[in-house]
Copies of this chain bind each other. A is one copy, B any other.
Amino acid sequence: MYYGSIEAGGTKFVCAIGDADFNVVERVSFPTTTPEETFAHVFAFFDQYALKAIGIGSFGPIDINPASSTYGYITTTPKPQWGNVDFLGAVKARYEVPIGFTTDVNAAALGEQRLGAAKGLSSCLYLTVGTGIGGGAVVNGQLLSGYSHPEMGHIIIHPHPEDGFAGICPYHGNCFEGLASGPAIEARYGVKADQLSESHTAWDFVALYIAQAVMNYVLILSPEKVILGGGVMKQEHLFYMIQTELAELMADYVALPDLETYIVPPKLGDDAATIGCFMLAESMI
């Protein structure tokens, strides 16, 4: 009997099964196309195994309020065809096991707090900067939630005066995601972010925006560790640039740990959300 994990991203889905120690036993990945086609891939994978519980970590916004009539839905996502999709309902109709439902980034935060870069700490922030930007957090040992889940990618920051770019967020234009996501970089320069040299001006803007966002997260949440993942953060030189910008912005107002050990990549790498989903699955039993 295995834990099942569904990590649903805007670009791809990763499904996996894990053992009692949260080791990944088998895994499959496929692009996020239509809900129908994508769920067919999910079911084809899990139908092969005996499951004891499933954890879902989904892109959002999603409805995580169990008292709501649309609990388990993906709600107002700008991703075509995925608005108002009953994600949890589709999986529940197929598998009669306990199923946990949270955001992909909350799942990653949970994985990193229990077994990764924030192991032994009671709080952490996990931010992904990729196709979209999203954040999850653990506070006092528990997943952060309230009225709903965080949507940290859409916060307001201060655009650089020399960055004339209007931003690509369909809701907010030049919010953090609208200025610093992978597609925002591509829209500015006409090439994918990973094609730009390390000395390209793009990285000055992106590092500044990520540093501003991290400053806001730190001033509001005071996490013990800040973990930055996602496609854009594969550019390792960004970490030093962000740490440097953050130190300058913060101006020593609040005491922080050494920034080199405070702002780090995920220790579980691309498995953070998968392992977090196993833990979420376990918590539902």
The chain A residues found within 8 Å of chain B, CB to CB, are: 61, 63, 75-76, 122-123, 135, 139-140, 142, 144-152, 154-159, 171-172, 212, 215-217, 219-224, 249, 251-257
B75 touches A151 (CB 8 A): no
Contacts A/B (CB < 8 Å), 25 sampled? A61-B253, A61-B254, A61-B255, A63-B255, A75-B255, A76-B253, A76-B255, A122-B146, A123-B146, A139-B139, A139-B144, A144-B221, A144-B222, A146-B221, A146-B222, A147-B223, A148-B255, A150-B220, A155-B215, A155-B220, A156-B215, A171-B251, A217-B220, A220-B221, A221-B221
CB contacts (< 8 Å) of A123 on chain B: these are 146-147
CB contacts (< 8 Å) of A252 on chain B: these are 76, 171
B249 touches A156 (CB 8 A): yes
- Alpha-carbon separation in the docked complex, A154 to B159 (Å): 17
B156 touches A222 (CB 8 A): no
CB contacts (< 8 Å) of A156 on chain B: these are 157-158, 212, 215-216, 249
CB contacts (< 8 Å) of A251 on chain B: these are 171-172
In the complex, residue of chain B having the shortest beta-carbon distance to the beta carbon of A224: B147
Between A151, A152, A216, A220, the greatest number of chain B beta carbons within 10 A of the residue's beta carbon is seen for A220
CB contacts (< 8 Å) of A147 on chain B: these are 123, 222-224, 256-257
CB distance from A148 to the nearest CB of B (A): 5
- Alpha-carbon separation in the docked complex, A29 to B81 (Å): 60
- Alpha-carbon separation in the docked complex, A151 to B256 (Å): 12
CB contacts (< 8 Å) of A61 on chain B: these are 253-255
A145 touches B76 (CB 8 A): no
> Which of the residues B150, B157, B223, B257 comes within 8 Å of A221, measured between beta carbons?
B150
- Alpha-carbon separation in the docked complex, A70 to B215 (Å): 23
B157 touches A158 (CB 8 A): yes
> Which of the residues B150, B151, B216, B254 comes within 8 Å of A148, measured between beta carbons?
B254
Supposing A139-B140, A219-B155, A220-B217 touch, asked if A253 and B146 sit within 8 A by C-beta, the answer is no
Closest 6 CB pairs of A and B: A123-B146, A146-B222, A171-B253, A171-B251, A155-B216, A147-B224
CB distance from A38 to the nearest CB of B (A): 23
Supposing A145-B222, A216-B156, A220-B220 touch, asked if A76 and B254 sit within 8 A by C-beta, the answer is yes
In the complex, residue of chain B having the shortest beta-carbon distance to the beta carbon of A124: B146
CB contacts (< 8 Å) of A151 on chain B: these are 219, 222, 253-254
In the complex, residue of chain B having the shortest beta-carbon distance to the beta carbon of A226: B147
In the complex, residue of chain B having the shortest beta-carbon distance to the beta carbon of A169: B253
B224 touches A152 (CB 8 A): no
> Which of the residues B148, B152, B172, B219 comes within 8 Å of A152, measured between beta carbons?
B219
